[in-house]
């Protein structure tokens, strides 16, 4: 019964999303839409990539006169600020406004500092260690021509997808998430945003979310609560290097899980108070999968241990099942990844229940 509840919820929801992902957009878009934009680049100790990042932005195929770039240095202790200023001196044709924080405020704090000088109706956010494809903005911005769209998230792609089994697993995870985010977007909205490329309509939110720690996804939820759509555009992508070792990757996933758990708990409270704007056909399955399913999984794992202790012969079918999963590389990857993810989600729930949140912004 536990296995049916756990697996059935995933199978049913993802089948529903897969069916919707292939549908046409219910949007009225203008392919020539290219408004003036402000690009915010928050940075903390990014001396190794900051010049490469600014060079990447300078090469974007978007009207130069319509781009305003603001770099917010969040009290870096390395040469990030120095190298950014070197770039502006050597590239006068591509002006970059630099804001330097004296005290570290975190990524959301840095973004809100940048928001103070925004003069355009559209705000684009990008991480300092991600690099856009040249036509990323030309692909993304036409979706904002529909007045119902308040936010857009692009897709993160690995620069090092075959570096190790860890990066290969991350590539598979992102492919899985792409289907989820696209299906939800076609239905109405997704709040699973990522910082490599985000576009926000300025009138759709007041400030970047600095409470949950998920400045991108948290802000997307605010946009939806203000009755705009927040969508995922997979054709607009950015390249980033993924952690190559297991320990670093687990830290990243734990932080990501903690942020999303906090957001879905917030959605649950809004739902119970009848104030959630995100459609229930998205919110309820996501809340169940992110909050209740990890609990079901841990109970299932404990019940399996009890079963094996009570009935040792049950190890035979269990062993055969694991052997089948282990012989199929793709299935093995998703199976192991799924187990790890459930324990991470459960860990995030325990932390949230104890009032402990992960809101730090670290390399």
DSSP labels, 219-277: HHHHHHHTT-EEEEEEEEEEEEPPP-SHHHHHHHHHHHHHHHHHHHHHHHHHHHTT---
CB 44, CB 106: distance < 8 Å? no
> What is the CATH architecture of 26-246?
Alpha-Beta Complex (3.90)
Reduce the DSSP state of residue 91 to 3 states and report it.
coil
pLDDT in tens, the chain (363 residues): 888 999 899 999 999 999 999 999 999 999 999 999 999 999 999 999 999 999 999 999 999 999 999 999 999 999 999 999 999 999 999 999 999 999 998 999 999 999 999 999 999 999 999 999 999 999 999 999 999 999 999 998 876 555 554 555 556 666 778 999 999 999 999 999 989 999 999 999 999 998 877 889 999 999 999 999 999 999 999 998 766 666 777 777 788 888 888 899 999 999 999 999 999 999 999 999 999 999 999 999 999 899 889 998 888 888 887 777 667 666 666 677 778 888 888 988 888 776 665 555 554
The string of DSSP letters for 148-195 reads TEEEEEEEEEESSTTSSHHHHHHHHHHHHHHHHHHHHHHHS------T
Give all strands of the β-sheet with 122-125 in edge-to-edge order.
Answer: 96-100, 67-73, 37-43, 122-125, 198-201, 149-158, 229-240, 130-132
What pLDDT sits at residue 271?
A: 97
Residue 299 CB partners (closer than 8 Å, separation 6+): 2
Give the pairing of strands 198-201 and 122-125: antiparallel
**Which pLDDT tens digit goes with each residue over 60-119?**
999 999 999 999 999 999 999 999 999 999 999 999 999 999 999 899 999 999 999 999
Tell me the backbone φ, ψ of residue 71, rounded to 5 degrees.
Answer: -100, 125
CB atoms inside a 10 Å sphere around CB 163: 15
CB 38, CB 68: distance < 8 Å? yes
Reduce the DSSP state of residue 132 to 3 states and report it.
strand
What pLDDT sits at residue 357?
A: 58
83 vs 58: CA distance, rounded Å? 16
Cite the DSSP H helix spans in 188-239.
215-225
54 vs 131: CA distance, rounded Å? 9
pTM above 0.85, yes or no: yes
What pLDDT sits at residue 265?
A: 92
Question: If we measure between CA atoms, which residue out of 203, 219, 206, 201 comes closest to residue 107?
Answer: 219
**Radius of gyration over alpha carbons of the chain, in Å?**
21
CB 240, CB 127: distance < 8 Å? yes
């Amino acid at each position: 019964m536990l296995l049916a509840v756990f697996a059935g919820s995933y199978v049913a929801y993802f089948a529903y999303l897969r069916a919707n992902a292939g549908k046409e957009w219910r949007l009225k878009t203008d392919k020539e839409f290219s408004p003036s934009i402000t690009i915010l680049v928050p940075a903390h100790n990014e001396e190794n990539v900051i010049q490469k990042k600014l060079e990447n932005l300078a090469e974007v195929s978007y009207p130069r006169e319509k781009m305003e770039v603001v770099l917010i240095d969040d009290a870096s202790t390395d040469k990030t600020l120095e190298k950014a200023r070197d770039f502006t001196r050597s590239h006068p044709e591509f002006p970059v406004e630099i804001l330097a924080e004296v005290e570290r405020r975190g990524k959301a704090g840095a973004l809100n500092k940048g928001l103070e000088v925004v003069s355009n109706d559209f705000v684009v956010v990008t991480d300092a260690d991600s690099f856009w494809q040249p036509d990323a903005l030309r692909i993304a911005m036409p979706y904002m021509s529909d007045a119902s769209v308040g936010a857009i998230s692009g897709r993160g792609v690995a620069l090092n997808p075959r570096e190790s089994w860890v990066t290969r697993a991350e590539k598979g995870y992102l492919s899985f998430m792409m289907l989820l985010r696209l299906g939800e977007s076609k239905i109405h909205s997704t709040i699973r945003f990522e910082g490599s490329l985000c576009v926000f309509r300025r009138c759709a939110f007041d400030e970047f979310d600095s409470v949950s720690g998920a400045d991108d996804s948290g802000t997307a939820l605010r946009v939806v609560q203000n009755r705009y759509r927040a969508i995922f555009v997979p054709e607009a992508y950015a390249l980033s290097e993924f952690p190559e070792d297991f320990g670093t990757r687990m830290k990243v996933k734990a932080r990501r899980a903690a942020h999303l758990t906090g957001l879905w708990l917030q959605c649950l409270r809004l739902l119970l108070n009848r104030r959630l704007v995100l459609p229930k056909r998205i919110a309820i399955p996501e809340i169940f999968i992110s909050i209740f399913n990890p609990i079901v999984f841990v109970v299932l794992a404990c019940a399996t241990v009890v079963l094996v202790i009570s009935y040792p012969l049950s190890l035979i079918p269990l062993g055969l099942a694991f052997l089948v999963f282990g012989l199929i590389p793709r299935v093995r990857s998703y199976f192991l990844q799924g187990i790890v993810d459930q324990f991470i989600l459960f860990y995030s729930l325990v932390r949230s229940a104890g009032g402990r949140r992960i809101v730090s912004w670290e390399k």
